[in-house]
Chains A and B, each alone.
Chain A
Amino acid sequence: MSLFPSPLWGGVRGGGGDWCTRIAQQRPPSPTLSHKGGGSTPVALHRCALTIMLVGGLLLIAGFSDTASAQGSPLGMPRGQAPAVPIGGVLGWIFAKQAEFYRQFSGLIRAAKSDGTAAWSLFALSFLYGAFHAAGPGHGKAVISSYLVANEQTWRRGVVLSFASALLQALVAVVLVAIAAALLHTTAATMGRAVNVIEIVSYALIILIGLRLLWVKGRAFIASAKTLHRPASVGAAATPLDHQPHAHCHHDHGRECHHDEHGRDHHHHHEDEACAWGHAHAPEPEELGGPGGWRRGLSAVIAVGLRPCSGAILVLVFSLAQGLFWAGAVSTFIMGVGTAITVAMIAAIAVAAKAWAKRFADTRSGYGMLAMRGIEAGAAVVIIAFGTLLLTGYIVTERMVGI
């Protein structure tokens, strides 16, 4: 948490805290009561379905807005086909800043040839550019965020995933330009085709990850829906106090919930992060919380990090032409750090929002649980949608002209 200066987080954290206390106060005193209202009335089911449809639709819209900006290009660089670029107060400012930073690269790289101090300016610029540019398309914010939401991941893991994918992205760009341009002297068009192959692999991986998640989460969702039709209570109530928030799980969802809800470091989160992050009881699912979880996280890192950022490639090629490849490489990695910070923040917001939604869902069981499973399954669908759109966007446009 100390990673982020609090002004950046003020709103989110403050808000989360407020809701948290309120919900904590509203929490039913005993687990048995938590069944109230969580029953299997048709109305509840109807609302639940509606929620899921809405959420799914929203996620899809978000997906479209993301992928639309990462398709073909008029001059061989990834660019969008979105009909419009929203230019609002804050966004307009971010947009203007990015462009401003980006335009300074060539001048600073030239200057760094003769003036050592210009290199430091270049690195500072790279960091700022990375942080601002991560807001732009193609940096996997949506995929990472959806992945975290679908997986009940913690914000910490979100930070790790964001940094790993951003740094991998930087590494891919540096290695690609080093091999293609510096060693093989390929043309921009050839380099573009290489990027294209990488993109296809990356997008296919994203789809695979989404499909796997949908398989797991979709089944959990269906199982959750089925339990709504069953008589709820099977006794219960003998749960330890610190499990109170989970109590409904034990009788409502039986095996399914056990499987899904009891990560190994549940208690750790419970005590450590408490309400501020809405993580009082957001344990990691067994399949991702355990040692194998990091391996699966790695798949997301690779899927997102494989695709090099076109801005970085341009900076690298330009610095190579200026005989300062090393400066371009350092600059690219610093950009990656800036990118990672932004992506991590967005991912953390998504995680916090979900945890927040979960608090509401958890105040009573059954329907709420179903909604949460629905959100997770929806997030998995979003990942698939991203991957598919990115992939088909490429296939349809096929504009890898290498400029």
Chain B
Amino acid sequence: MSHRYFACLFALVAALQVTSAIEAGAHPHVWVTVRSELVYASDGSVTGVRHAWTFDDMFSTFATQGIEGKKKGQFTREELAPLAKVNVDSLKEYDFFTHANANGKPVEFSDPAADYYLEWDPKETVLTLFFLLPLKAPVKAKDLSLEIYDREFFVDFSFAEKNPVKLIGAPAQCKLSIVNPEQMNSDLAARLSQLGADQRDPTLTIGSEYANKAVVKCP
């Protein structure tokens, strides 16, 4: 009796493992090159993050599909305004993929300032979204980290090659460093595969492992 029971169960589990495991292998459909500025107030507290996100050409082409520019193949900020609104509105649900920690505590952001806009680069045929993400409450931080990543890898974020993060108005003693993404290695893969779907290993934030990270130390 129990023999059949287990065999039957095992067969199903095997089948489901195969299906559901393979099922989860999604991949990014959008690539974003990130340039960000950390904006400081005169008292040395961080007030917000100003992002410039450049989308990949395929996505940019798709997004601008059907938008009529006065000049063929070119779009002005005004022509792109409705699209920018759609982008910003939908990104709200994902907290703009922006994760910041001040002195070890997560930082909360408010909705972006209304001056966001999209720009079209006719040479590269890519869109860049500019927006300012203000902190809910400005914070003075000895130790500040900024990461931009999508935990689900639908959007693949990476820092621009040159000066991806700038400090605007930061106290002179503040030092910025960029931590390069950890490459996917077998060790990490093994640790990740040990995690359940709703489990969070505090030492291991999925997605952020591959994210570029900016760290600002203000002693």
Contacts and interface: CB of A to CB of B under 8 A. Distances in A.
A399 interface: yes
A182 to B, nearest CB: 10
B10 to A, nearest CB: 8
Contact of B9 (A54, A86, A364): A54
Contacts of B42: none
A133 B151 CA distance: 19
B147 interface: no
Nearest to B91: A74
Contact of A135 (B9, B22, B91, B186): B22
A36 B84 CA distance: 70
Given A83-B198, A346-B22, A403-B59, A188 B27 contact: no
B133 to A, nearest CB: 15
B152 A86 contact: no
A402 to B, nearest CB: 7
Interface in B79-115: 83, 86-87, 89-91, 93-94, 97
Nearest to B198: A83
Contacts of B188: 87
Given A317-B61, A318-B61, A318-B62, A91 B22 contact: yes
Majority secondary structure of chain B interface residues (helix, strand, loop or mixed): helix
Interface string B141-161: 000000000111111100000
Contacts of B153: 85, 95
A32 interface: no
A403 B83 CA distance: 7
B15 A136 contact: no
Interface string B185-206: 0101110110101110000001
B155 A59 contact: no
A403 B97 CA distance: 16
Interface in B1-57: 1-5, 7-9, 11-16, 18-31, 56-57
Interface stretch (B64-72, B162-170, B172-180, B211-219): B64-72
A77 B30 contact: yes
Contact of A360 (B7, B59, B67): B7
A401 B22 contact: no
Contacts of B26: 69, 79-80, 85, 95, 136-137
A268 interface: no
A201 interface: no
Given A83-B198, A84-B195, A91-B22, A58 B12 contact: yes
Contacts of B139: none
B59 A75 contact: yes
B102 to A, nearest CB: 24
B154 A77 contact: yes
B135 interface: no
A85 B206 contact: yes
A102 B154 CA distance: 13
A141 B19 contact: yes
Nearest to A47: B5
Contacts of A84: 151-152, 195, 197-199, 206
A98 B25 CA distance: 9
Nearest to A48: B5
A89 B62 contact: no
A92 interface: yes
A197 interface: no
Given A76-B90, A92-B184, A191-B66, A102 B29 contact: yes
Interface in A82-126: 82-89, 91-92, 94-96, 98-99, 102-103, 105-106
Interface stretch (A158-166, A207-215, A241-249, A307-315): A307-315
27 contacts: A51-B8, A61-B20, A65-B23, A73-B90, A77-B30, A79-B152, A85-B24, A85-B207, A86-B24, A86-B192, A86-B197, A87-B206, A88-B21, A88-B193, A89-B189, A91-B25, A136-B26, A136-B27, A142-B20, A181-B66, A185-B66, A188-B64, A315-B58, A350-B18, A353-B12, A360-B8, A371-B5
Given A89-B186, A135-B25, 16 more contacts: A66-B20, A80-B154, A84-B198, A85-B26, A86-B21, A91-B24, A136-B23, A137-B23, A137-B26, A310-B29, A314-B62, A353-B14, A356-B11, A361-B8, A397-B93, A403-B86
Interface of B: 1-5, 7-9, 11-16, 18-31, 56-59, 61-68, 83, 86-87, 89-91, 93-94, 97, 125, 150-156, 184, 186, 188-190, 192-193, 195, 197-199, 206-207
